[in-house]
Amino acid sequence: MPVPDAPLDILLCAPRGFCAGVDRAVQIVELALQKFGAPVYVRHEIVHNRYVVEGLKAKGAVFVEELDEIPDTGQPVIFSAHGVPKSVPEAARRRNLFHLDATCPLVTKVHREAEIHYRKGREIVLIGHAGHPEVAGTMGQLPPGAVTLVQTEADARALQPAAPERLAFVTQTTLSVDDTAAIVAILKERFPAIVGPHKEDICYATTNRQEAVKRIAARVDAMIVVGAPNSSNSQRLVEVAQREGCFTALLVQRAAEIDWQRLAGVRCIGITAGASAPEALVEEVIDAFCQRYSVNVEAITAAAETVAFNLPRELREAARTA
Ligand code: SF4
């Protein structure tokens, strides 16, 4: 337990927490509940945050992993912000399920890029992490075998495409900016004809949150990242902090998970939050520090964010009257 009233500087990263895609996905569930009443079915965690999911459950959302867990119903079925393979909306149509798509428009953009490459006869490399729902969704836009997953620099060095002169790449949106740049550099060196997005497909929110962590990592004794263990962009924030010199970087879902022993003796900490963590949880963490220290909070802003995405047509009227 720290000495009561010991001074502590908190450097609060900005931007942090909810991005426009997560905000839109949560709004879609809330507006669907408002317009259609409960239950509203949601395939997969709408975003990777238990607090958000539990809050929506309390309002009448029912979370399932697959469509076959949903009874025949006229109630809406919502697809998560991470995107889904094409087979999922097809299955929903076959069953006449009314579905709303909460896929982030920046993920949909990657889906369209992959389709265009495929139509042009290109072999496609997806840089991403196996098992993440966004990767399953992007690979599932095209027939099996059309997309090869590259997870590491070693994978990029080992890649043996059938037609190197017709190679293209796309990326998961929530990767480490620096790791991905290194993988892309290897692919470009080995396959100079490879085509891809201007930079990569890592979204503005992931990039800005990583940049804010980079700005303070060397100045703080420890970093708290508020986020879920299965949140890719939250995990990347921990890695970025460690790589930039802040070795005590802790991922916590709630204030109750803070390991105070590991923070013994700290005088300056950084706080940030993954794109699926709501601000209420950041405030909870700051309050926990305020109970133990005499806290001074300084915001460190890496970028101003003004991005907002349109809601699905079916919910725009509900949004106007909300
Ligand atoms: S992290 Fe980026 S891609 Fe993912 S939902 Fe947010 S804005 Fe969209």
Residues in contact with 105: Cβ distance below 8 Å, sequence separation at least 6, in sequence order: 21, 24, 309, 310
Which residue is catalytic, options 45, 134, 200, 244? 134
Q: Per DSSP, which regions of the chain are E strands? A: 6-14, 40-43, 61-64, 77-79, 99-101, 123-127, 147-150, 167-171, 222-226, 249-252, 268-273, 293-301
Per-residue tokens: 185: 């550099």
So what's the pLDDT on residue 268?
98
pLDDT profile of the chain (322 residues), mean per 10: 80 98 97 98 94 97 97 97 97 97 98 98 97 97 97 98 96 96 97 90 96 97 97 96 97 98 96 97 98 97 97 93 82
So what's the pLDDT on residue 202?
95
Q: Please say if 305 is a catalytic residue.
A: no
So what's the pLDDT on residue 2?
59
Residues 115, 95: contact at Cβ < 8 Å?
A: no
So what's the pLDDT on residue 39?
98
Amino acid at the residue 21:
G
Could you tell me the distance, in angstroms and rounded to a whole number, from the CA of residue 174 to the centre of ligand 1?
Answer: 7
So what's the pLDDT on residue 154?
98
Query: By alpha-carbon position, which residue is closest to atom 2 of ligand 1?
Result: 203
Residues framing ligand 1 (Cβ under 6 A) = 19-22, 81, 104, 106-107, 173-174, 203, 205-206, 233, 275
Calpha distance 241→248 (Å, rounded): 8
- Chain segment 248-259, per-residue pLDDT in tens: 999 999 999 999
Q: Given 3-state DSSP classes, what are the helix, strand and coil percentages for the chain, each rounded to the nearest 5?
A: 45, 20, 40
Calpha distance 130→101 (Å, rounded): 23
Best residue for ligand 1 mutational test, from 22, 44, 84, 177 (most atoms within 8 Å of Cβ): 22
- Chain segment 262-299, per-residue pLDDT in tens: 999 999 999 999 999 999 999 999 999 999 999 999 99
- Chain segment 75-114, per-residue pLDDT in tens: 999 999 999 999 999 999 999 999 999 999 999 999 999 9
Best residue for ligand 1 mutational test, from 24, 84, 104 (most atoms within 8 Å of Cβ): 104
Query: By alpha-carbon position, which residue is closest to atom 8 of ligand 1?
Result: 21
Residues 49, 277: contact at Cβ < 8 Å?
A: yes
Residues 2, 293: contact at Cβ < 8 Å?
A: yes
Is the whole model's pTM more than 0.75, yes or no? yes
